[in-house]
Amino acid sequence: MIITEILVADIMAKKKNGRKSTRRSKNQNLITLAETLIVGSAATRMFAGVNLLSFATGITTGSRAGTGFYPSQDGATRITLPELAGFGPDGWDAKYIGGSFGNSSLQASVMSNIRANAASSIATAVITPILFRYGKKIFRAPLRETRKLLKGTGVTV
């Protein structure tokens, strides 16, 4: 009887403070970041017709207008975040919110980008994680040395 009371008391004590807090690493993993940027760039290429950096900054390359920030002048299929936020050729104005796509609409521009870029973007999004997984295995020794050098900086590889 005394033994069962001790066991019950022991179990109850474990339940009260039995959970250990899990400590999460706050390190930034450069390989995971690179993989995420490649997949994100493929997704923005499929929907917006530009890479992730061009989508975020509005600076496009290879358009008829040239390289730079040319909202509403770089073609209807090049959609950028500043254009959607309302920045036009003469600065920000409420009439530019949602973008200006010439004779086309946002939906038509996105559908045009999907038709043009879907196959390559989906292939990139599927193949990239596979290649990174095998690359980590193949380059395990050099990565180990790099991790040793970066230890304590808060950056991991």
Q: What is the pLDDT of residues 54-112, one digit of tens each?
A: 888 888 876 666 667 777 666 778 888 888 888 877 778 777 777 777 777 888 889 99
The two beta strands, 155-156 and 59-63, are unpaired
Give buried/exposed letters for 36-70 (b at 16+ CB in 10 A, else e). eebbebbbbbbbbbbbbebbeebbbeeeeeeeebb
Task: Look at residue 47 in the predicted model and tell me its pLDDT.
Answer: 94
Q: How confident is the model at residue 44 (pLDDT cuts 50, 70, 90)?
A: very high
Q: How confident is the model at residue 37 (pLDDT cuts 50, 70, 90)?
A: very high
Q: Is the pLDDT of residue 21 over 70?
A: no
Task: Look at residue 12 in the predicted model and tell me its pLDDT.
Answer: 61
The two beta strands, 59-63 and 91-92, are unpaired
Rounded distance between C-alpha atoms, residue 146 and residue 156, angstroms: 9
Rounded distance between C-alpha atoms, residue 45 and residue 83, angstroms: 16
Q: Is the dihedral of CA 91, 93, 96, 97 positive or negative?
A: positive
What pTM did the predictor assign? 0.71
92 vs 145: which has the higher pLDDT: 145
